[in-house]
Amino acid sequence: MTTIWRASVLTIFPDMFPGPLGMSLAGKALAEGKWSLGVTDIRDFATNKHRSVDDTPAGGGAGMVMRAKIAAAAVDAARAAMPAEPATLYLSPRGKPFTQARARDLASGPGAILLCGRFEGIDERVLEARAIEEISIGDYVFSGGELGAMVLIDACVRLLPGVAGNDVSLGEESFAEGLLEYPHYTRPREWEGRSIPEVLLSGDHRKIAEWRREQAEKLTKARRPDLWDRKSKG
């Protein structure tokens, strides 16, 4: 029996899911059983009648911190429910940046457990004791990890076999070869005085490929010199 890719989300706002993941390519693939989504309410592991999951930070300061016992219990339950050992990720602005290469790596595995923090974060001891990897989708701060989890899941799901429907397209898009993607055009031939580059209408596939490569390199140099520098050194 083939094991499908599974995303297991741990959150105090389970009603946020599937959200955008229930639409478009990801939603269609979810309905077709090409991947699965499990959502666990962390509050189910609370131990008091108020279902509280947080407490004041040790050492003082603003905000609240998710308690170690509760977060750990949620992670343990999610791991026990998975058919294979997946990556366990905590969405965090201090985490390692999420990249297309990491998306490909995760998509090739059994799935991922995504721990969504709120408040000031999660007790550090949970991250250490459960060997949880911190991962960031950018240098900015959300109110919680749920939106970041959706971004990460979508980036992985679209790489699963049969989801995007065009493996050639996936191989040419931004970051696939360490470059930003070249510009795209479609009919009409002219719009508001702007024309489609003649080379794209030439029918010469070699010249078209060369033009697209040149444009990808030009855009990468101008907009993402960090990527270009990495590409050049690689």
Output the DSSP codes for 55-95: EPPTT--SS-EE-HHHHHHHHHHHHHHSSS--EEEEEEEEE
**What fold is seen in the domain 5-157?**
Alpha/beta knot (3.40.1280)
Burial class (CB in 10 A: 0-12, 13-18, 19+), 162: exposed
pLDDT at 105: 97
Q: Domain coordinates of the chain in residue numbers?
A: 5-157, 173-233
Per-residue pLDDT tens digits of the chain, which is 234 residues long: 568 999 999 999 999 999 999 999 999 999 999 999 999 999 999 989 999 999 999 999 989 999 999 999 999 999 999 988 899 999 999 999 999 999 999 999 999 999 999 888 999 999 999 999 999 999 999 999 999 999 999 999 999 999 987 565 665 666 778 899 999 999 999 999 999 999 999 999 999 999 999 999 999 999 999 999 988 887
Beta bridge partners of 136: 97
Q: Which residues lie below 8 Å from residue 223, measured CB to CB, with a gap of 6+?
A: 180
Distance, in Å, from the CA atom of 209 to the CA atom of 200, rounded to the nearest integer, reads 9
> Is 160 within 8 Å of 35 (Cβ atoms)?
yes
Burial class (CB in 10 A: 0-12, 13-18, 19+), 49: exposed
Output the DSSP codes for 140-153: S--SSSHHHHHHHH
Of 70, 106, 107, 69, nearest in space to 89 by CA: 106
**b vs e for 81-105, b when ≥16 Cβ sit within 10 Å of the residue's Cβ?**
ebeeebbbbbbbbebeebeeebbee
Token reading at 186 = 């479609």
Same fold, 5-157 and 173-233: no
Q: Could you tell me the pTM of the whole model?
A: 0.91
For 173-233, CATH number? Answer: 1.10.1270.20
